A and B are shown apart, each in its own frame.
Chain A
């Protein structure tokens, strides 16, 4: 299985696309969280150190909360993202694509105790490499999934040129590719535009800049623009 995108059909009959996140970004997110937790504990211990043994007791309670509750609270309250996951653009969701709730987050983080075995998240790594959606054991038990949060991309309209009807009918995916080219043309260098357009000499019947202009014209025609 090369494609890690899981498609879940909603009750409305459309597909949610959930691109599952692999072990590497998740491990990095975990390391960031570890650093944040370590820093927070360090700061707390400096303050509590002034209170002697009383402070030592409070410190252990804080340690307990930071160890067990930190991921649960962030995942349940901030849209399935701990600070580390936010930095890496990851998000925890239910297996059906819905946002994660308190109980599911609690269970998936309780199960870290098993995923950490025998050392360094070994069990979790093996599970996530074997699973088509790279879930660790805790994700399986809690019915959750870690995905790459969808990124907001800049929307650009296709370049406006005089429309030109294609010499031969194009199939749907070919039309998509041509329109996609016109929409991305802003972001491409002239040389790259020519290179891409030259692939389609059989369609445009021209090379170089003329080919690019013709291809953009065809895209405009396909979009429904008419001279």
Chain B
């Protein structure tokens, strides 16, 4: 068939398809709202028309019709493809299920990486803490005297400040700072796993060393009381979130180093998809931790039993949530 005859025969179909796309591809909500008033190509006919168009496009390309015709069909085909194969909208009503069941299950599925990540953070932390009890001068090998002096001033038991660990900042200011700083660190801990896991390992170990140094030094110089009183509240969600971010990063690094039966890029895509979901949970945990840290941990007037009770309770809740959450729930997929 000559091009002119081909175009004459099907042009009306293409125009109808194009009108349908112009009117209804943009917003599904608007398309639903105007379902009754719409008079063009019916919605239910669109997939069949799309497949017809694909066949016509293949014919046009095969028969060597001019670039104008094939380009138009190609464009219509791509637009139709985008409408038919667009991803489902995010399942907002599944958000609670994600928090309560899917996220803990996803965390437990990373068992090996999780233990490795925990070890990479906890071993340097505990080692530094123990070392500083024996040899307090070692602290100056890790942090500068200025930094340590600032830490000592922040947690000075002699200073009867209204707020713990603050100079003059307000709660909201610190809340903003903790969100910006901590969540960014969590995300970077995960993402830097792409450097064969080395980035994540570095972040975990260096964080462990710094935390161990600060805690050990303050304990050794006798400022341990205010320090522990400050950190006990938010430590549970914050430390677990960093360990989970580390597990996601290690998983990403493993996908690059040892992809197993998959192509390397496919292993990376899988680890990335799981990591992205982990990061959603980490975001929630760290925002919660920032809230506790800003509005609860710094309140100096709280009696110690309440403070340590709440801190311990949060540890139990966090571990229980991650350990038991989503057990026995049917799989969504």
Query: Can you spell out 16 A-B residue pairs with CB atoms less than 8 angstroms apart?
Result: A10-B85, A16-B78, A57-B174, A61-B175, A68-B187, A97-B78, A98-B81, A102-B87, A107-B272, A141-B194, A141-B272, A143-B272, A150-B74, A176-B64, A176-B66, A223-B66
Instruction: Kindly supply a per-residue 1/0 record for chain A positions 9-42, scoring 1 wherever the CB is within 8 Å of any chain B CB and 0 otherwise.
Output: 0101110110000000000000000000000000
Q: Verify if B226 is at the interface (C-beta below 8 Å from A).
A: no
Q: Verify if A205 is at the interface (C-beta below 8 Å from B).
A: no
Assembled-state Cα–Cα distance A103/B5 (Å)? 46
Contact B54 A113 (CB under 8 A): no
Contact A64 B179 (CB under 8 A): yes
Instruction: Kindly supply a per-residue 1/0 record for chain A positions 140-176, scoring 1 wherever the CB is within 8 Å of any chain B CB and 0 otherwise.
Output: 1111000000101101101000000000000011011
Contact A53 B172 (CB under 8 A): yes
Which of the residues B58, B85, B171, B184 comes within 8 Å of A98, measured between beta carbons?
Answer: B85
Instruction: Kindly supply a per-residue 1/0 record for chain B positions 249-282, scoring 1 wherever the CB is within 8 Å of any chain A CB and 0 otherwise.
Output: 0001000000000000100110111011101100
Interface residues of B, Cβ cutoff 8 Å to A: 1-5, 50-51, 54-55, 57-58, 63-68, 71-72, 74-75, 77-78, 81-82, 85-88, 90, 169-177, 179-180, 183-184, 187-188, 190-192, 194-195, 199, 252, 265, 268-269, 271-273, 275-277, 279-280
Which of the residues A99, A104, A156 comes within 8 Å of B86, measured between beta carbons?
Answer: A99
Query: Given A10-B54, A99-B82, is A61 in contact with B3 using a C-beta cutoff of 8 Å?
Result: no
Closest to A106 in B: B276
Assembled-state Cα–Cα distance A106/B182 (Å)? 18
Contact B176 A99 (CB under 8 A): no
Q: Verify if A59 is at the interface (C-beta below 8 Å from B).
A: yes
* Docked complex: A54-113 residues within 8 A CB-CB of B: 54, 56-61, 63-64, 67-68, 79, 96-104, 106-107, 110-113
Report whether over half of chain A's contact residues are helix, strand or loop; otherwise say mixed: helix
Q: Verify if A49 is at the interface (C-beta below 8 Å from B).
A: no
Query: Given A141-B252, A152-B75, is A16 in contact with B183 using a C-beta cutoff of 8 Å?
Result: no
Query: Given A113-B192, A141-B194, is A13 in contact with B272 using a C-beta cutoff of 8 Å?
Result: no
Contact A57 B90 (CB under 8 A): no
Query: Given A16-B78, A103-B276, is A111 in contact with B179 using a C-beta cutoff of 8 Å?
Result: no
